[in-house]
Amino acid sequence: MRDSKQKPNVIILYADDLGYGDVSCYGAHRLSTPNIDRLAKDGQLFWQGYATASTCTPSRYSLLTGSYPWRNPRASILRGDAPQIIPTGSPTLPAMFKNAGYSTGIVGKWHLGLGEGDLDWNSPSIQGTPNDLGFDSSYILAATNDRTPCVYINNRHVDNLDANDPLEVTYDREHPFTDIPTVKTHPELQKIVGHTGCLIHGIPRIGYMRGGNKALWDDETMCDVFLNKAHNFMTENKNHPFFLYYAFHEPHAPRIPSPRFAGSTDLGPRGDVIVELDWCVGQILDQLESLGLREDTIVIFSSDNGPVLWDVYEDNSIELANGHEPAGPLRGGKYSSFDGGTRVPFIVSWPGTISPGESDAIVCQMDFHASFASMLEQELVDGEAPDSLNILDALLGQSSLGREELVVEGHGKNTILRSNNWTYLPPKDGPEKLYNGIEAGNSSKPQLYELSQDIGQMKELASTRPEVVSELETRLQAILKSEQTR
């Protein structure tokens, strides 16, 4: 039996491309997310919760290392065959939990690279996996649901791989495998227009793969596969503290809901997979309750970056949005340097310990490392989590003080300084709008916004407040040159 004085379990539920306006407790009204709302009702909802970047890999890098992504030049959207970008044995968030006596597991999207270079996908003991970074167990997809290889990786091997049908992966557009169906060679197999790499289940992906047919994932059952793995991990570890990082693939494109959820909203596939994601959240909460663990478990819900409607696949998300604002009142979205890129849903719940409420504190996913280390009385070693601040009191709703400043990253590694109520975007070359219509935030001039008065970043103040611009520019440069900010 579990001792009630034991350390609490911690579960991070991490959505992929879910925006500030995509859930009902943050104001969405054209779809309903009752289970995410249930978490908010039991916990603290943060109005100023941030990922560190407006894309996936850098945000996840910060979540797991407590480090700004720009410290690692490889921390940008990775190919599916990229080597692991966090060195084996690094002092990660899961390693911190493990040192504190926790069982640690990851289920879902990884996207931080696998292997140590030139990975043999057929190896029964792949080195350079989440299991080398503090996770006792892992069941993941390598990169994104739109990238090859479209297989699950079970700890150190590709799950269900038939030795007689070896798996090969390439991202070489000049020399793709010539004997596999692509959009060009087999247009008749294509079920949805999107990327132009190989066709897996009629869905064009980024990159190419050959072989490994028995190991292929089925997009329609992906939500159930990951949920079952999460359920098993929780049941297996119900008697001692655990840390579970459950990284959803929803609502990243291609949005292929389980048939149970197809058509459940009138927003099209993007709305349907958000409802699917919300259902999974409910299943986790129900399981915690049935295991008698709800009051022993901190459940965090957030997203890796802001939202995007059309992200290459033609699924009518823009046409069907019809009044749904995925970033809510924020400007920009995924890939953007505006706040819609990085300010995301951010809920921390721990019934019986955290009093329900809302918070305006500035909090960042990068801070979980130092905050939970403090809760568990784990000392950080030199170089560990260099940018993670201990904001435990804010996360637990016991203080209204979070961060005073935070650097976030937009498209093209553009670094932006959030400082108290200000946000400062340095001049940056590049298009005003990205291929998907999202405002990038680029401008040849510096931009300054006072977010407390102007959440939608409509009133640019750089020329009226040059002294603030110059102070923030100096501060940003100092942070970028520093080795540590905690």
**Cβ of residue 472: shortest distance to ligand NG6, in angstroms?**
27
Encoded amino acid at 457, one letter:
Q
Cβ neighbours, 10 Å, residue 322: 10
- Contact, 117 vs 83, CB < 8 A? yes
Q: Which is nearer to ligand NG6, 74 or 98 (CB)?
A: 74
Give the separation between CA 261 and CA 10, rounded to whole angstroms: 28
Is residue 183 a contact point for ligand NG6 (CB under 6 A)?
Answer: no
Q: How far apart are CA 273 and CA 278, in angstroms?
A: 8
Does the footprint of ligand NG6 cover residue 56 (CB under 6 A)? yes
Report residue 49 as tokens: 């919760």
Position with the least CB separation from Ca ion: 56
End-to-end CA distance of the chain: 38
Considering the rule CB under 5 A, would residue 325 count as an interface residue with Ca ion? no
Reduced to 3 states, what is the DSSP secondary structure of residue 71?
A: helix
Grouping H, G, I as helix, E, B as strand and the rest as coil, residue 281 is helix
Pick from 77, 354, 376, 468: which binds ligand NG6 (CB under 6 A)?
Answer: 77
146 binds Ca ion (CB under 5 A): no
Q: How buried is residue 87: exposed, middle or buried, by Cβ count under 10 Å (0-12/13-18/19+)?
A: exposed
Residue 35 C-beta: closest distance to Ca ion, Å: 20
Give the burial class of 241: count Cβ atoms within 10 A of its Cβ; 0-12 exposed, 13-18 middle, 19 or more buried: buried
Site for ligand NG6 in 441-480 (CB under 6 A): none
Whole-number Cα distances in Å, 267 to 263, 308, 316: 8, 13, 9
| Min dist. Cβ of residue 52 to Ca ion (A) | 12
Question: Rule CB under 6 A: is residue 229 a binding residue for ligand NG6?
Answer: no
Residues 298-317 binding Ca ion (CB under 5 A) are 304-305
Touching ligand NG6, residues 137-156 (CB under 6 A): 144, 146
Residues 424-453 that bind Ca ion (CB under 5 A): none
Q: Both tokens of residue 92?
A: 């990660």
Which position among 9, 10, 11, 17 is part of the footprint of Ca ion (CB under 5 A)? Answer: 17
Token pair listed for 7: 């350390």
Min. distance of Cβ 247 from ligand NG6 in angstroms? 11
> Which residue among 100, 216, 262, 312 contacts ligand NG6 (CB under 6 A)?
312
Q: Between the CA of residue 128 and those of 87, 117, 162, 186, 261, what are the distances in Å?
A: 8, 9, 22, 35, 35
Look up residue 17 and give its two tokens. 């491309």
Nearer to Ca ion, 145 or 305 (CB): 305
Q: Does 278 bind Ca ion (CB under 5 A)?
A: no
| Site for ligand NG6, residues 102 to 131, rule: CB under 6 A | 111
Does 296 bind ligand NG6 (CB under 6 A)? Our answer is no
How many C-beta neighbours within 10 Å does residue 41 have? 14
* Binding flag, residue 62, Ca ion (CB under 5 A): no
Angle (CA) 166 205 217, round 5°: 50
> Contact region for ligand NG6 (CB under 6 A) — 207-215, 217-225, 305-313, 359-367?
305-313
CB of 79 to ligand NG6, least distance (A): 10
The residue within the footprint of ligand NG6, chosen from 17, 37, 325, 339 (CB under 6 A), is 17
**Residue 205 CB, nearest approach to ligand NG6 (Å):** 9
Region near Ca ion per CB under 5 A, out of 50-58, 98-106, 279-287, 346-354: 50-58
Give the integer Cα–Cα distance in Å for 419 and 425: 11
What residue 146 binds from ligand NG6, Ca ion, none (CB within 5 to 8 A, per partner kind)? ligand NG6
Of all residues in this chain, which one has the CB nearest to ligand NG6 in the complex? 56
The dihedrals phi and psi of 154, each to the nearest 5 degrees, come to -100, 105
Residue 143 or 394: which CB sits closer to ligand NG6? 143
Distance CA 296, CA 350 (A): 7
Residue 365 in the binding site for ligand NG6 (CB under 6 A): no
Tokens describing residue 107: 């289920």
Sheet bearing 447-450, strands edge to edge: 405-410, 414-419, 422-425, 447-450
Binder of residue 131, out of ligand NG6, Ca ion, none (CB less than 5 to 8 A by kind): none
Judge whether 119 and 81 are in contact, CB under 8 Å.
yes
The two three-digit tokens of residue 287, written as one number? 């399981």
- Binding footprint of ligand NG6, residue count (CB under 6 A): 13
Q: Which stretch binds ligand NG6 (CB under 6 A): 164-172, 304-312, 413-421, 452-460?
A: 304-312
Least distance CB 433 / ligand NG6 (angstroms): 14
Q: How many Cβ atoms are within 10 Å of 399's Cβ, its own excluded?
A: 13
Q: Sign of the CA dihedral 431, 249, 299, 7?
A: negative
Give the residues lining the site for ligand NG6 (CB under 6 A).
16-17, 55-56, 77, 111, 144, 146, 206, 252, 305, 311-312
Give the residues lining the site for Ca ion (CB under 5 A).
16-17, 56, 304-305
